[in-house]
Structure 1
Amino acid sequence: MPVDLSEFDHPSWLTAAGTGIGYALILAVLTLAMFIVPWLVFSAL
């Protein structure tokens, strides 16, 4: 059964992927700022 991938060419898929990547990036930055940086500061004391 051939799969038609042309339905994924719509700009909404690019928007959805960008939203997911943006949320992941923000989550990574907040995790770094709220947990990793304080842990490094307190472990250096």
Structure 2
Amino acid sequence: MDMAVDLNEFKHPAWITALGTGAGYLLLLAVLTIALFVVPWLVFSALL
């Protein structure tokens, strides 16, 4: 069985929107993790 896959169907704007949403979510998650955990840890470490 040879199943040909047409990759052009993944060039639809909905896929670009989904990837952008995922990337934005990961970026926001990284920023919040740094702001809520890394920054307080650095401040606490500096005070000791």
Query: TM-score, normalising length from structure 1?
Result: 0.92
Larger radius of gyration: 2
C-alpha displacement of 1:4: 1.0
Q: Secondary structure at the match of 2:4?
A: coil
Selected match of 1:14 from 10, 13, 16: 16
**What letter is aligned with 2:23?**
I
C-alpha displacement of 1:2: 2.7
Runs of 4+ in 1 over 3 A off after TM superposition: none
Which residue number in structure 2 is paired with residue 32 of structure 1? 34
- Provide the rounded CA distance (Å) in 1 between the counterparts of 2:15 and 2:43: 41
How well do the aligned residues superpose, as a CA RMSD in angstroms? Answer: 0.7
In structure 1, the gaps of 5 or more residues are: none
| Residue-pair matches, total | 45
Identity of aligned residues (%): 73
